Each structure stands twice: as C-alpha cells, then as structure tokens.
Chains A and B, each alone.
Chain A
Amino acid sequence: SQQGEEDPQALSIQEGENATMNCSYKTSINNLQWYRQNSGRGLVHLILIRSNEREKHSGRLRVTLDTSKKSSSLLITASRAADTASYFCATRHNQGGKLIFGQGTELSVKP
C-alpha cells in the first residue's frame, strides 16, 4: 500500500506549545500535502510541499520533507485551542495521480 502513516495517532498539548506531527510513506512522491479536519467537518487544505523542496512555511505552519527517509513533518508553532483537529498527510506519487491519505493525527490543544 502507498498509504502514508501518521505519527502519533493522537497528541495532547497545552495552548502556546508547539505541535509536531509526522508522516511516513513507502514509494517516491510527486508532492505531499497536509489537510486539517475539524470534528464533523470536511478536510481543508493547509500546505503542499513538492518532492524537490525540503521546507515550507505558511503562517504558524512549517512543513519539512526528507525524501531519503520518505517522511514529512508538520510543525504548528504557538498552538491555540482552535488548532484542535485531525491532521492528515496526503501523498501524490505521480503527476496526474490521485491523492492517498494517511489515517491522521488527532491534535487536542488545551486552553
């Protein structure tokens, strides 16, 4: 299976702390994307990193990609209670191919 695996499955932190989630995959990718899903809602695209990129920033989000280890991490800095959600990585293994989603990391940020 090409499906990505997220780690940890669940993460609980205090407001203001940083949250780090990891994603590993098995076969080479074209790009890797992170999505957020608030409870009972649809997924929202957060950030995309291409296979030739190593790091990308968007506001309080920082994504890194290590293609040699076939892994990515999503860092949320200075977390807020509103960041409480499930976070999914999705990999694309060739241009024109479908997105393959991992099982997600459930993040809980306590006020």
Chain B
Amino acid sequence: EAQVTQNPRYLITVTGKKLTVTCSQNMNHEYMSWYRQDPGLGLRQIYYSMNVEVTDKGDVPEGYKVSRKEKRNFPLILESPSPNQTSLYFCASSTKGQAVVTGELFFGEGSRLTVL
C-alpha cells in the first residue's frame, strides 16, 4: 500500500531534549516536505526537499533541521525542543512532476508532539 509513514505518532518530551521524527515513503517520490499544524494558523511549511541531498527552508524553519540522505526518508530533527514547538506535524511527499506542475501532496498520518 502506497503510504507516508511517520514515527512516533505521539510524543511528550521536555525542553531541550533532542528528538527526531522520522518520515518514510514507499512511492519513490522525489519531493518531500514537513508541515506543522496549529489552531488558527493552518498548515505551515517547515522544510522541503526536491531530491536526495537537496533541502530548503519553508516558512517556519527556525528550531528545526532536516536531512535527505536517502530518497525514501526525510527525518525532522528538533535539536533543542521548546514549548512553542508543541504542534501536530505532517510529512508529505509527491513525485517531482507533481511538485513542479500541480503541487498535489500525499500526507502522512501526523505526529503530535508536546514539549513541556
């Protein structure tokens, strides 16, 4: 089954404790992206990647890092989480053609992160 898989789905952590949210897709998609969803603010893009070893900042990259060493994986790293990073995070992917032509995205199920 074609899917975007995120882990963990739920996480409660404390300020400053480094964490990684993994994202993996099995559709051979070139384009991958991370969003955060907050009440009243909708979805905002954190980082995106057009292909392996190619990453770029989205609208709200501060406090986050990403890497794209393999085509299928795009982990989101919070080096020193803070309470304002408490949010619902989504990974999304698409083919390069979709990314360029339409922008249509396939989303993972989300990871709810709470930073105390």
Q: Once bound together, how far apart are the Cα atoms of A92 and B100, in whole Å?
A: 11
Segment touching B, from A14-22, A53-61, A66-74, A99-107: A99-107
Find out whether the CB atom of B103 lies under 8 angstroms from the CB atom of A97.
Answer: yes
Find out whether the CB atom of B102 lies under 8 angstroms from the CB atom of A42.
Answer: no
Find out whether the CB atom of A99 lies under 8 angstroms from the CB atom of B109.
Answer: no
Find out whether the CB atom of A42 lies under 8 angstroms from the CB atom of B4.
Answer: yes
A-B contact count (CB 8 A): 54
Interface size on B, residues (CB 8 A): 25
Question: A42 and B107 in contact (CB under 8 A), knowing A31-B102, A96-B100, A103-B40?
Answer: yes
B106 cross-chain contacts in A, Cβ below 8 A? 45
- How far, in Å, is B99 (CB) from chain A's closest CB? 8
- Would you call B74 an interface residue if the criterion is a C-beta within 8 Å of the partner chain's C-beta atoms? no
Name B42's contact: one of A3, A33, A44, A97 (CB within 8 Å): A3
Interface size on A, residues (CB 8 A): 24
Q: Which A residues contact B (CB, under 8 angstroms)?
A: 3, 30-31, 33, 35, 40-45, 48, 88, 90, 92, 95-99, 101-104
- Give 17 A-B pairs besides A42-B90, A104-B42 with Cβ atoms closer than 8 angstroms: A33-B102, A40-B110, A41-B109, A42-B4, A43-B90, A43-B92, A43-B105, A43-B107, A44-B107, A92-B102, A96-B99, A98-B45, A98-B48, A98-B58, A99-B105, A101-B44, A102-B42
Q: Which B residues contact A (CB, under 8 angstroms)?
A: 4, 33, 35, 40-45, 48, 58, 90, 92, 99-110
